[in-house]
A and B are shown apart, each in its own frame.
Chain A
Amino acid sequence: MAKKKNDDINFAPRGRGTEKDGAVQKGVDLPKPTKKKHKSLGLTEDNLKAMYEQMYLQRRFEERAMQQYQKGKFGGFLHLYIGQEAVSTGTVFALNDDDDIITAYRDHGWGLCRGITANEGMAELFGKKTGCSKGKGGSMHFAKTENHFWGGYGIVGGHIPIGGGLAFANKYNQNGRISATFFGDGAVDQGALHETFNIANLWGLPAIFAVENNGYSMGTAARRHTVTEIVDRAKAYGMKSKVVNGMDVFSVYEAMKEVSEEVRENSEPYFLEIRTYRYRGHSMSDPQKYRTKEELDEYQKIDPIERLKTYLKDNKIMKDEEIQEIEDKVEQEVLDAVEFADNSDFPDESELYDDMFAEEEPYFHN
């Protein structure tokens, strides 16, 4: 074989298929949503109403949070979950309330879904002492452990083994609980994932690992940072796996219900690739040159919240006025939360040293 000329050598991601080096292209292909209707999924009309309220809350909470950020009410990173609400909602409705959930820094939706109130969430964004993490964590570190929501974590992939550890403890204690660990498509390239998958299957940990493949890891399309389909990561470790449509709350619910039962029953790990889309930039400072407006539009046309709303109306479960009522209620809840956060106090300066050690009066080096 002729020696390649230097100019031909490059280390750009090869991607798959026809894509050229570095060419921006669609992040994900969605699998078909489930055809099942709510009854055959075991969901009641009240469940659907609650789901709608929850998804709408996540959406409005973040839209208001964004406004407050732009007004300079708080600083730091703000990673919005907008577009992905079906994933958190479908999951939380499918799992038992005492199953353990852990996620990455794009965590507001997860927190709200697991019982962090709008007040506690907004106050955390503002860095107030009334926040769910007492203002110590901010946007990336929502947590409510009493509800088995172990929090959002900011080191990409860092919490994947921890999710395995939650499952380890559940198995150890024979308490019948399982864990569900969520992370972005960028995290599948971290060694932590691979080590954890191997151990999880080796030891039969009752753990669901789920990637929220929203098409992009910061400015890098999923297909530019990883080889093979992400779901195929499971194959190397003999783990069961599935691809799920994350723009449809029913599809997420259905998959999570089935998978959680299997994981609980057999004490074994499971890998889900949930395909979804984030509407906003990676964080607030992202000019989003890596994707087209058309691509964004395509996903906004199949918005998960609109989709559920249409279902509710088409199936005569709720009338327009009833939906409006829910939306008004949520709107008020979120506005109240902004006011609550604004009026809350910052932590007292003495609290800087709190929460570091288990002791009442720990040692601090000076």
Chain B
Amino acid sequence: MAELQFREAIREAIDEEMAREEKVFIMGEEVAEYNGAYKVTEGLLDKYGYKRVIDTPISELGFSGIGVGAAMNGLRPIVEFMTFNFAVLAADQIINHASKAGYMTGGQITMPIVFRGANASAGQLGATHSVAFDSMYAHFPGLKVIYTSEPDDAKGLLKSAIRDDNPVLFMESEQMYGMKGEVSEEEDYIIPIGKGKVKREGSDVTVVAHGKMYHVAKQAAAQLEKDGVDVEIIDPRTVKPLDLPLIVESIKKTNRCVVVDEAHPFAGFAAEIGFLIQREAFDYLDAPVQRVTLPDVNAPFAKNLLDAWLPSPKNVIDAVNQVTYRN
């Protein structure tokens, strides 16, 4: 194992896949000369040159669509967004084109493209820079969505995403780029898309949390442990396809579940998991599934309001107390 920052793990995945396959290239704002707005692509321009590491103008719709066309025509683009908040401008290409072209041409088109970048909030950046888009994209058929919580997962899953012959949205977090973690040094380390992971074993309650929320759940679990509550944390890692069997298996053991998600509540990831659990594990539940999400309100700037807005370990503890009838 090697200790890597999140950004380094992502970079390794890109680097290895670019070295392995000539058709892989990366483009986005400030990815080349500036070495990446968050330094994810640092050094890649020097190594691969202007043909394969490409700075774009601030034209999200245009360069995403160029990525889509290039993918249709045999290349394997990685399109970087500074954040998925700006990918909203490219939604037409992702939702109307990348996800549908193969289907509506009767399978004549394959679309091996990765859209990646930071997702969700990153401190006091205000309403337009703070939205989590993973469950929104998961809504659309034809897209795979990954949002990892630790460098090891990021490396293995990004490599899979780049090799995948479908459009994959790979989400990161500005606030986690500097976070360090042990990353496998196995040669050609691959994690299959669609496989979750039990990140903490426990017997009292299942907490499902991915991306940045995994760390919130982890803090809550550490506190709950002092209180004698044994939390099992499942990180699905891939939002879609979802590793439902892993979640169900855990619930059969704990009989209780809390879902933590950094998106708004309506029709989000937490809502979907809640539905699936009642369908697949109804007889095993000792309490209704609870969720911790953002409120149904835009991100505020003020520090105190932002803190109240974000899901916190305290929110998770409250929800765990609710499903374990400890309050």
Extra inter-chain contacts (10) besides given A76-B123, A366-B295, CB under 8 Å: A9-B51, A12-B32, A12-B54, A137-B301, A138-B302, A155-B85, A189-B58, A220-B29, A224-B33, A346-B303
B305 partner, pick from A13, A352, A356, beta carbons under 8 A: A352
The stretch among B125-133, B149-157, B275-283 that forms the contact with chain A is: B125-133
Closest to B123 in A: A75
A109 within 8 A of B: no
A7 contacts which chain B residues (CB < 8 A)?
49, 51
Which residues of chain A from 308 to 366 have a CB within 8 Å of any chain B CB? 346-347, 349, 351-353, 356, 364-366
Q: How far is the CB of A316 from chain B (nearest CB, A)?
A: 46
Is B124 in contact with A365, judged by CB distance below 8 angstroms?
A: no
A-B contact pairs, 6 of them (CB 8 A): A138-B126, A220-B34, A226-B57, A346-B305, A349-B308, A365-B296
Is A352 in contact with B124, judged by CB distance below 8 angstroms?
A: no
Query: Can you list, as one digit per residue, whether each of B44-60 has a CB less than 8 Å from chain A (1) or not (0)?
Result: 00000111001101111
Query: Can you list, as one digit per residue, whether each of A144-175 has a CB less than 8 Å from chain B (1) or not (0)?
Result: 00000000011111100000000000000000
Known: A6-B51, A12-B54, A191-B62. A136 touches B34 (CB 8 A): no
Is B58 in contact with A12, judged by CB distance below 8 angstroms?
A: no
B105 within 8 A of A: no
B203 within 8 A of A: no
Closest to A217 in B: B58
Q: How far is the CB of B30 from chain A (nearest CB, A)?
A: 6
Is B126 in contact with A191, judged by CB distance below 8 angstroms?
A: no
Closest to A10 in B: B50
B126 contacts which chain A residues (CB < 8 A)?
76, 137-138, 140-141, 154
- Which residue, B30, B60, B302, has most C-beta atoms of chain A within 10 A? B302
A218 contacts which chain B residues (CB < 8 A)?
29-30, 34, 37
B140 within 8 A of A: no
Q: How far is the CB of A241 from chain B (nearest CB, A)?
A: 20
Q: How far is the CB of A105 from chain B (nearest CB, A)?
A: 9
Is A187 in contact with B305, judged by CB distance below 8 angstroms?
A: no
Closest to A77 in B: B125
Known: A12-B55, A353-B297. A366 touches B265 (CB 8 A): yes
**How long is the Cα–Cα vector from A352 to B303 in the complex, in angstroms?**
11
**How long is the Cα–Cα vector from A129 to B61 in the complex, in angstroms?**
37
Is A190 in contact with B32, judged by CB distance below 8 angstroms?
A: no
Q: How far is the CB of B200 from chain A (nearest CB, A)?
A: 28
- Which residue, B123, B297, B300, has most C-beta atoms of chain A within 10 A? B300
**How long is the Cα–Cα vector from A220 to B29 in the complex, in angstroms?**
9
**How long is the Cα–Cα vector from A189 to B86 in the complex, in angstroms?**
14
Is A22 in contact with B301, judged by CB distance below 8 angstroms?
A: no
Is A219 in contact with B34, judged by CB distance below 8 angstroms?
A: yes
**How long is the Cα–Cα vector from A138 to B304 in the complex, in angstroms?**
13
**How long is the Cα–Cα vector from A157 to B29 in the complex, in angstroms?**
15
Q: How far is the CB of A15 from chain B (nearest CB, A)?
A: 12
Closest to B128 in A: A154
Is B58 in contact with A156, judged by CB distance below 8 angstroms?
A: yes
Is B300 in contact with A135, judged by CB distance below 8 angstroms?
A: yes
**How long is the Cα–Cα vector from A224 to B57 in the complex, in angstroms?**
8
**How long is the Cα–Cα vector from A137 to B302 in the complex, in angstroms?**
8
Is A10 in contact with B49, judged by CB distance below 8 angstroms?
A: yes
A299 within 8 A of B: no
Is A127 in contact with B58, judged by CB distance below 8 angstroms?
A: no
B128 contacts which chain A residues (CB < 8 A)?
153-155, 158
Closest to A125 in B: B301
A182 within 8 A of B: no
Q: How far is the CB of A290 from chain B (nearest CB, A)?
A: 7
B266 within 8 A of A: yes
**How long is the Cα–Cα vector from A290 to B54 in the complex, in angstroms?**
16
Query: Can you list, as one digit per residue, whether each of B207-249 has a CB less than 8 Å from chain A (1) or not (0)?
Result: 0000000000000000000000000000000000000000000
Closest to B264 in A: A365
Is B297 in contact with A138, judged by CB distance below 8 angstroms?
A: no
Is A225 in contact with B58, judged by CB distance below 8 angstroms?
A: yes
Is B266 in contact with A365, judged by CB distance below 8 angstroms?
A: yes
Known: A137-B126, A140-B126. A224 touches B301 (CB 8 A): no
Query: Can you list, as one digit per residue, whether each of B109-153 has a CB less than 8 Å from chain A (1) or not (0)?
Result: 000000000000001111111000000000000000000000000
Q: How far is the CB of B304 from chain A (nearest CB, A)?
A: 4
B19 within 8 A of A: no
Is B295 in contact with A157, judged by CB distance below 8 angstroms?
A: no
**How long is the Cα–Cα vector from A10 to B55 in the complex, in angstroms?**
11
A136 partner, pick from B58, B61, B301, beta carbons under 8 A: B301
**How long is the Cα–Cα vector from A93 to B60 in the complex, in angstroms?**
35
Is B302 in contact with A346, judged by CB distance below 8 angstroms?
A: yes
Closest to A24 in B: B33
B73 contacts which chain A residues (CB < 8 A)?
none
Query: Can you list, as one digit per residue, whether each of A72-100 has a CB less than 8 Å from chain B (1) or not (0)?
Result: 00111100000000000000000000000
**How long is the Cα–Cα vector from A137 to B266 in the complex, in angstroms?**
24
B309 within 8 A of A: yes
B50 partner, pick from A21, A190, A289, A349, beta carbons under 8 A: A21
Is A352 in contact with B308, judged by CB distance below 8 angstroms?
A: yes
Closest to A218 in B: B30
Which residues of chain A from 204 to 225 have a CB within 8 Å of any chain B CB? 217-220, 224-225
B96 within 8 A of A: no
Which residues of chain B from 51 to 88 have a CB within 8 Å of any chain A CB? 51, 54-55, 57-62, 85-86, 88
B89 within 8 A of A: yes
**How long is the Cα–Cα vector from A42 to B32 in the complex, in angstroms?**
49
B27 within 8 A of A: yes
A219 contacts which chain B residues (CB < 8 A)?
30, 33-34
